[in-house]
Amino acid sequence: MTLAMLINGQPSKLLRADDRGLQYGDGLFETVLLAHGRVRFLDDHLRRLFAGCDRLGINAPDAATLRGEIAQVTAGRDRGVLKIIVTRGAGGRGYRPSNAMASTRVVALYPFNPSPQAGLRLRWCEIRLGRNARLAGIKHLNRLEQVLAQSEWQEGEADEGVMLDTEGEVVCATSANVFAVRDGVLVTPDLRFCGVQGVMRAQVLKAAARLRLTASEEPLWPHDLETASEVFITNAVRGIRSVASLDSLQWSETGVATRMANALSLSEP
């Protein structure tokens, strides 16, 4: 399934079973697009990865080493999905982390599977996201909530699901951030309690500033989507995708999403 994989710099598809990434989900990941032979927004992905290491107290890998491994795995490839996992490391038993532990690096390239460009059909997820400000924003490996969310529908029944937190705030789609246009203002959940600070989300917020479009990160509620004139979702691999429906809600506007995609020169790989 993988086109190439390096574990701690060595070609391998096997990891120590006592790695804390497996034992406790004690690590982080990044999913990055390789398009036209270039790794898109790599600096942003690495910045978030290292910020996550810092937040969890994981010894960050050497940046030059990691970049070298990424270059090796993507060499000669035109397109694909690059997945980077960094865990706290292997060994020991029990939750207590050791400061001395060397982190584990998994750098893998997967095939890119194009998805339809038409407006997406979304649904509300039943499972809620637990709130924990200490884990909010970073892309850690504790993802059971997203796994259960995606198992709520069969492939083909919907393109994505929108997740609320346990208090009913809108947070994200299962693997994308959510934006709404309301009275000409671009809004997106502030992710102070849960959700991932997406790389594409940050690019959209920066592009909005350049385009002089007012954008706001704030608490969002289902009502804010119900009253939106346009909705789109963002993901580092799939880009900016207009939303056509969310259960019974429907949108035909795609103007802001299109302006953003043009401003960011996004194109399918």
Q: Site residues (CB under 8 A) for its own copies? A: 1-2, 5, 7, 12-26, 29, 56-57, 81, 83, 85, 87-88, 91-97, 106, 108, 110, 127-132, 134-135, 140-151, 155, 166, 174-175, 194
- Between 125 and 187, name the residue whose CB sits nearer to its own copies: 125
Beta bridge partners of 122: 160, 246
Q: Residue-wise over 204-237: b if at least 16 C-beta within 10 A, else e? A: bbebbeeeebebeeeebeeebbeebebbbbbbbb
Query: Closest approach of Cβ 93 to its own copies, in Å?
Result: 5
Compute the C-alpha angle 241/164/148, nearest 5°.
Answer: 85
- Between 145 and 230, name the residue whose CB sits nearer to its own copies: 145
Query: Closest approach of Cβ 106 to its own copies, in Å?
Result: 5
- Between 82 and 181, name the residue whose CB sits nearer to its own copies: 82
- Between 19 and 224, name the residue whose CB sits nearer to its own copies: 19
Q: Residue 96 has which token pair?
A: 């207590």
Nearest CA-CA partner of 69 in 88, 84, 81: 84
DSSP 140: B
Query: Closest approach of Cβ 195 to its own copies, in Å?
Result: 12
Query: Closest approach of Cβ 72 to its own copies, in Å?
Result: 16
